Amino acid sequence: MWVVAWFVTRLISFLLITSIGGKLLSPEWWSFFASLCVVFSVHNRLTDPEFKTITFLWLAWLRFMAPLIFVIQEAQLFGVGLAAAMTYVSFRLLGYLDGKGLLKMPSRKNSNFRLFFFIMPLIATLIMWYYEGARGFITLIFYYAVVSALGTFIVLIRSFNANKG
């Protein structure tokens, strides 16, 4: 019964947002969420964990883009989608692979790995800096780099304080 209530609540919320947002007749809206539903259905029907990693990759990207795709400038859409795939989605994929026992990267969980992972894309911002359509890409890459650096700094401070006391 809870599952039905959860599903109905989410469906009603989605339809309300669709209606309030004026998207009832938007083919872009419906095709985006139809593709999300298709990928989600395929993911839930697959049994091979290696195939599920492919659908997980697309689910993570679609879920990231869902709240953004209809509100950011169209000119920034490609850059934001690319940055999301390079950072958020690929990092989530590593966690998914690890959780399924398909990944052997023991240092993946330490703060230095995370920092390096999210700092490396800054190199791409040097290339993209001069392109007007890359502002979304650059902003998202900088956001993840700063959050990762702050997280690493907090871990270092905690470690220092723990060793001190």
For the stretch 6-24, pLDDT in tens is 999 999 999 999 999 999 9
Residues contacting 38, CB < 8 A, separation 6+: none
CA distances from 8 to 1, 2, 59 (A): 11, 10, 21
3-state DSSP call for residue 104? coil
What digits encode the pLDDT tens for the residues 35-69?
999 999 999 999 999 999 999 999 999 999 998 99
Q: Tell me how far apart the alpha carbons of residues 129 and 162 are, in angstroms, rounded to a whole number.
A: 41
DSSP 110: S
Q: Tell me how far apart the alpha carbons of residues 128 and 126 are, in angstroms, rounded to a whole number.
A: 6
Q: Are 83 and 137 in contact (CB under 8 A)?
A: yes
What digits encode the pLDDT tens for the residues 25-43?
999 999 999 999 999 999 9
Q: Which residues of 30-66 are buried (b: 16+ CB within 10 A; e: fewer)?
A: eebeeebeebeeebeeeeeeeebbebbbbbbbbbbbe
